[in-house]
Amino acid sequence: MQQVQYKFNWKRLVFYVSITLLALVWLVPIFTVFLTSIKSTTDFYSGVGLFEWPDIPQWGNFKNAWIGGRMSMYMRNGLIVCLCKVPLGIFFSSMLAFALTRLNVKRNRAIFIYVLIGMMLPLQVVLIPVNIAYSRLGLTNTYISLIYAYIGFGIPLGTLIFRGFFNGIPKELDQAALIDGCNSWRLYSTIILPLAKPAIATVFIIDFLHTWNEFMVQSVLITRDSMKTVPNGLLSFFGEFSVDYGLLNAGVLLSIVPVLVTYLLFQRYFVYGMSGAVKG
């Protein structure tokens, strides 16, 4: 018995050591970013190694990236787009999923497949027509253009997750509500939606990440610097001839903050909501 106990602990130690080593390797890139963000350009060229702590940590890089590097502006643009897009997207896709699961819509499987296919189309396929349409309408360089486009792109995944979740809510609930005189709008807004908090949290995280991080569509529709969101804004740190790596990496860290906050706020629902999507 004693021996079994001993062997068990030994295995556990190996397990801990190996998973911790893996995690450390996984963190190397972000650690590099941090060490770079507190150095000045001269530190790199005067031979301060990448892993060395600089003589004078350049905390000012963060301030410079925020103001001089215009991160404050890019992040504000990103937040405006996200905070309009995400709630609207949740509203539209949950309604769509509600109709597909609760109202007896004809051909609901066909409609669902029609919507799902959009999730897998490469965005490249819509890039040219959307660009042409927006420039004819004079909508390039506006928030509206981005918000509308992102809502459209986000509907398939949102609908998939909400549909999976709504399917798990017992149908008896509807019947009870209908007997009590609820119409479908009341059923959706006062019964189904409040029950779907994990799904809402999941879609919130995913949509927020996608919108905050989207680069390609944004780089086509937005040409004016003052309207750029974060990914494209970060690229403007690459100057014509040189890059201030300290400043760039400080900008990278700043751009991650909202994403981390969103994840931490909603993460306890996240795995649960995701598995709803997986089960379909």
Partner 1 sequence: MAPGLLIYSSMVVVPAIYSVVLSFFKWNGIGKITAVGFRNYVNLFTRDTVFQIALKNNLVWIVLTLVFTTSMALGLALMLNRSFKGRTAYRAIFYFPYMLSWVVIGIIWKWIYNPNIGFLDEMLKLIGLGHLNITWLSDPNIALYCVFMAALWQSTGQPMLYFMAGLQAIPHELYEAAEVDGAGTWSSFVHITIPQLRETFVIVFATLVISAMKVYDVVYVMTEGGPANSTQTLASYMYSQTFAFSNLGIGSAIATVMMVVMMVVIIPYVLFTTKQD
Restricted to residues 212-231, the positions that interact with partner 1 (CB under 8 A) are 212-216, 220, 230-231
Total residues binding partner 1 (CB under 8 A): 86
| Closest-CA residue to 140 (of 269, 247, 149) | 149
Binding residue for partner 1, selected from 96, 199, 222, 227, defined by CB under 8 A: 96
Binding residue for partner 1, selected from 3, 29, 170, 172, defined by CB under 8 A: 29
Task: Measure the CA–CA gap between 76 and 192, rounded to whole angstroms.
Answer: 33
Q: Which residue has the tokens 């669902």?
A: 112
Cα torsion 187, 189, 190, 195: sign: positive
Helix, strand or coil, per DSSP, at residue 49: coil
Q: Which residue has the tokens 């350049």?
A: 58
- Binding range to partner 1, per CB under 8 A, among 32-40, 53-61, 66-74, 174-182: 32-40
Burial of 183 (0-12, 13-18, 19+ CB in 10 A): exposed
Contact status: 74 vs partner 1 (CB under 8 A): no
Among positions 104-133, residues that touch partner 1 (CB under 8 A) are 105, 109, 111-118, 120-130, 132-133
Contact status: 54 vs partner 1 (CB under 8 A): no
Q: Which C-beta is closer to partner 1: that of 192 or that of 252? A: 252
Binding residue for partner 1, selected from 80, 95, 139, 182, defined by CB under 8 A: 95
Contact status: 9 vs partner 1 (CB under 8 A): no
Q: Which C-beta is closer to partner 1: that of 57 or that of 152? A: 152
Task: Measure the CA–CA gap between 162 and 202, rounded to whole angstroms.
Answer: 9
Inter-residue contact 75 to 255 (CB < 8 Å): yes
